[in-house]
Amino acid sequence: MIAENLAEVRERISRAIQKSGRKPDSVRLITVSKQMSVDRIEEARTSGAVVFGENKIQEAIPKIEQMGTEGISWHFIGHLQKNKVKFLDERFDLIHSVDSLELAEKIAKHCQSENRVQRILLQVNVSGETAKFGMEPSELEKQMAGFSQLQGIQVEGLMTIPPFDSDPENSRRHFSRLRELRELCEKQNGLSLNELSMGMSHDFEVAVEEGATLVRVGTAIFGPRPKLDDK
Ligand SMILES: *Cc1c(COP(=O)(O)O)cnc(C)c1O
């Protein structure tokens, strides 16, 4: 089941890549394994999944302890509370969800003390609607230079979660907005921001068409999660 779902998601990504004339290997699939047992994640690994996305530090760490990082990597995609920063370690390859300069400074300080550089993405609220997390585009523009100057972190790109809409076409403008914002930030600061993390189970094809380099897919691979707090 997981193997077939994974194959199908990969196929759909490939088709969206072709449709939009992008390079074949320009999109990476993040298999979102939150709330999934190690057994099921192992099954995904056996089926070829290589990057896993977790949204809670306390849940992620024991999974990483058990499964390790040999041939796989772990991304943190959930809201990161400042008091959890101390639990971050080098086993998190990328953090998708940094949503304030204050949080970035905390991570930077923590990583400097560990003598390493943490790769991060900045989460932006591009929809203009009241979203729980993510910076306003204007705030990002103002602070981009500040983020890029911090020692201990490396900003690799931007991430967004548009408001849920059952019609993925309605997410398209949010995805293209994130892409435009990336270009603006690159130009204004002389930076290169390679990653755009956008698209989930219900809208990843549209996200790929709009330039996503990382898509975060859970349900379409593992099936529905138990209805816990999903944030
Ligand atoms: C849960 C989650 C996903 C995956 O959502 P699905 O709809 O199951 O694909 C993607 N991104 C983030 C930030 C999530 O928390």
Quote the ligand 1 centre to 218 CA distance (angstroms): 6
Binning pLDDT at 50, 70 and 90, where does residue 231 land?
very low
Give pLDDT tens digits for 17-34: 999 999 999 999 999 999
Ligand 1 binding pocket mutation candidate from 2, 9, 55, 214 (most atoms within 8 A of CB): 55
Q: Which residue has the higher pLDDT, 84 or 129?
A: 84
Q: pLDDT: is 162 or 229 the higher one?
A: 162
Q: Which atom of ligand 1 is nearest to the CA of 222?
A: 8
- Which of 90, 82, 86 minimizes the C-alpha distance to 115? 90
Question: What residue's CA is closest to ligand 1, atom 12?
Answer: 77
Q: What is the mean pLDDT of residues 104-123?
A: 98
Residue of the CA atom closest to atom 7 of ligand 1: 201
The yes-or-no verdict on residue 228 having pLDDT over 90 is no
Q: Find all residues with CB under 8 Å of 146, minimum gap 6, and list them.
A: 101
Write the pLDDT tens digit of every residue in 82-111: 999 999 999 999 999 999 999 999 999 999
Q: How confident is the model at residue 133 (pLDDT cuts 50, 70, 90)?
A: confident
User: b/e string for 134-155 if b means 16 or more Cβ within 10 A?
Assistant: bbebebbeebbeebeebebbeb
> Atom 10 of ligand 1 has which residue's CA nearest to it?
216
**Band (227; pLDDT cuts 50, 70, 90):** confident
Quick one: pLDDT at residue 48? 97
Task: Give the model's confidence band at 129: pLDDT under 50 very low, under 70 low, under 90 confident, else very high.
Answer: confident
Give pairs for 177-185: CB < 8 Å, separation 24+. Answer: 177/126, 177/137, 178/124, 178/126, 178/210, 179/210, 179/211, 181/124, 181/126, 181/137, 181/140, 181/141, 182/157, 182/158, 184/141, 185/140, 185/141, 185/144, 185/158
> Which atom of ligand 1 is nearest to 217's Cα?
9
Ligand 1 center from residue 119 Cα (angstroms): 20
pTM (2 d.p.):
0.96
All domains of the chain in start order, with CATH: 2-220 (3.20.20.10)
- Distance from the alpha carbon of residue 146 to the mean position of ligand 1, in angstroms: 29
Taking CA atoms only, the protein residue closest to ligand 1 atom 13 is: 77
Please give all residues whose beta carbon lies within 6 A of any atom in ligand 1, as ranges.
Answer: 32, 34, 55, 77-78, 161, 200-201, 216-220
